[in-house]
């Protein structure tokens, strides 16, 4: 499909690299390739009597490199890669019916990234993972509500794999040192009691610098680089994430089993034990989050002693969310 090759500069790099390493005669043609590599962010040094050496590779999500590193069976085996797009979730919804399960839409930047409830999601160029995966679980739509937790658990595990500790704030935020580093937006299409598709959108602030975060978000948003004081190679995180997502998803897809996900969300929760504000239908109530039950609902004990399982709506952790 033509769109998969739409980021000309990004996609042709891998082939160029091979051409350079196998080329014996350094002529004007190779200098042209070297220049293209440099423009794309590679550092290339001339080595006397040998040719050229690539000394550093750019942190770009180059299709061929991702493809070669993937360990998944179906997630990310069909990829749409954009340099700039309004929203990967919106694009994924356009291809979700026709395309196979596991189809991945990703972009270097989103110009109209979406959060939940029509909120905006900041997605600056080349600094994060902005992606959406098409899923087609063959389960009762009534069992779909914990699916965002699946994304959260996969992000948690992928971060852990690259040495980053985080917490999960029910249902869709990943937190480091009290600030949000990643979010999940799931959008589904259900017809006649059948799930046509679920698009799981994941945004991770990877290498954002403090100046990439606007003033109004500074109290609640952060990036891995800001918290860890090191740059992260986005490809490694992405490949890890797709792998963890596929492992956790398979149990869910086949028999609706979400227990491993719930366990991860419980053990690494930024919500359990905290004072929370629950907003539903415009009304606010204060309580304490006691646990996450086996359905992925958060159990909240309100100030009047009444305990309720909350499966949707807003549960804000008091003291954690910048706006409280």
Q: Which is nearer to ligand BT5, 221 or 320 (CB)?
A: 221
Tokens of 320: 């954690």
Closer Cβ to ligand BT5, 51 or 115, answer by number: 115
241 binds ligand BT5 (CB under 6 A): no
Of 40, 14, 188, 202, nearest to 106 by C-alpha is 202
* Binding region for ligand BT5 (CB under 6 A) out of 24-32, 115-123, 291-299, 303-311: 115-123
Q: Are 131 and 105 in contact (CB under 8 A)?
A: yes
Examine residue 172 and tell whether it contacts ligand BT5 (CB under 6 A): yes
Q: How far is the CB of 203 from ligand BT5 (least distance, A)?
A: 3
Question: Cβ neighbours of residue 226 under 8 Å, at least 6 residues apart?
Answer: 208, 209, 210
Place of tokens 């990036």: 223
**Min dist. Cβ of residue 305 to ligand BT5 (A):** 29
CB atoms within 10 A of CB 61: 21
Q: How many residues bind ligand BT5 (CB under 6 A)?
A: 28
Instruction: In angstroms, give the least distance from the CB of 87 to ligand BT5.
Output: 3
User: In the complex with ligand BT5, which residue's Cβ is closer, 34 or 175?
Assistant: 175
Q: Which stretch binds ligand BT5 (CB under 6 A): 23-31, 198-206, 247-255, 264-272?
A: 198-206
User: Exactly one of 7, 110, 166, 268 binds ligand BT5 (CB under 6 A); which one?
Assistant: 110
What minimum distance in Å lies between the beta carbon of 131 and ligand BT5? 6
Is 75 among the residues that bind ligand BT5 (CB under 6 A)?
Answer: no
Among the candidate windows 37-45, 70-78, 200-208, 301-309, which touches ligand BT5 by CB under 6 A?
200-208
User: Alpha-carbon distance 139 to 194, whole Å?
Assistant: 8
Burial 258-295 (b: 16+ CB within 10 A, else e): beebbebbeebbbbbebebbbeeeeeebebbbebbeee
Is 87 a binding residue for ligand BT5 by CB under 6 A? The answer is yes
Told to check if 320 binds ligand BT5 by CB under 6 A, we report no
Binder of ligand BT5 out of 93, 180, 225, 235 (CB under 6 A): 180
Is 203 near ligand BT5 (CB under 6 A)?
yes
E-strand ranges in 206-313 read: 275-280, 283-292, 298-302, 307-310
Closest among 238, 249, 258 to 71, alpha carbons compared: 238
Number of Cβ within 10 Å of residue 1's Cβ equals 9
Is the Cβ of residue 26 or residue 217 nearer to ligand BT5 in the bound state? 217
Whether residue 56 is preceded by a cis peptide bond, meaning omega within 30 degrees of 0, is: no
Q: Which stretch binds ligand BT5 (CB under 6 A): 72-80, 86-94, 246-254, 282-290?
A: 86-94
Q: Is 69 exposed, middle or buried, given 0-12, 13-18 or 19+ CB atoms closer than 10 A? A: middle
Within 13 Å, how many C-alpha atoms sit on residue 224's CB side? 27
Q: Is position 132 an interface residue for ligand BT5 (rule: CB under 6 A)?
A: yes
In angstroms, give the least distance from the CB of 55 to ligand BT5.
31
Residue nearest to ligand BT5 (CB): 183
Residues that bind ligand BT5 (CB under 6 A): 87-89, 110, 113-117, 119-123, 130-132, 172, 180, 183-185, 201-203, 205, 217, 221
């Amino acid at each position: 499909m033509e769109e998969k090759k739409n980021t000309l500069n990004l996609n042709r790099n891998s082939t160029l690299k091979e051409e350079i390493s196998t080329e014996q005669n350094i002529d004007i043609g190779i200098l042209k390739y070297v220049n293209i590599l440099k423009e794309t962010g590679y550092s290339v040094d001339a080595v006397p009597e040998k040719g050229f050496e690539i000394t550093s590779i750019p942190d770009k999500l180059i299709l061929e490199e991702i493809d070669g590193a993937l360990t998944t069976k179906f997630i990310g085996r069909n990829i749409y890669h954009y340099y700039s797009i309004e929203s990967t979730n919106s694009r994924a919804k356009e291809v979700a019916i026709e395309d196979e399960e596991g189809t991945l839409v990703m972009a270097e930047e989103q110009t109209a990234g979406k959060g939940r409830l029509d909120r905006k999601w900041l997605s600056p160029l080349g600094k994060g993972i902005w992606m959406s995966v098409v899923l087609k679980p063959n389960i009762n739509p009534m069992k779909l509500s914990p699916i965002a937790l699946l994304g959260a658990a996969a992000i948690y595990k992928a971060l852990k794999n690259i040495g980053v500790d985080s917490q999960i704030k029910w249902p869709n935020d990943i937190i480091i040192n009290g600030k949000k580093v990643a979010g999940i937006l799931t959008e589904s299409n259900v017809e006649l009691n059948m799930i046509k598709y679920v698009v799981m959108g994941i945004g991770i602030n990877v290498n954002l610098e403090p100046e990439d975060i606007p003033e109004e978000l500074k109290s609640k948003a952060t990036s891995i680089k800001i918290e860890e004081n090191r740059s992260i190679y986005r490809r490694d995180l992405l490949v890890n994430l797709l792998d963890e997502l596929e492992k956790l998803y398979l149990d869910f897809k086949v028999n609706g089993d979400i227990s491993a996900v719930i366990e991860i969300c419980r053990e690494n929760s930024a919500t359990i034990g905290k004072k929370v504000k629950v907003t539903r239908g415009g009304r606010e109530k204060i309580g304490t989050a006691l646990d996450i039950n086996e359905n992925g609902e958060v159990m909240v004990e309100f100030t009047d002693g009444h305990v309720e399982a909350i499966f949707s709506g807003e549960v804000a952790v008091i003291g954690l969310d910048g706006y409280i």
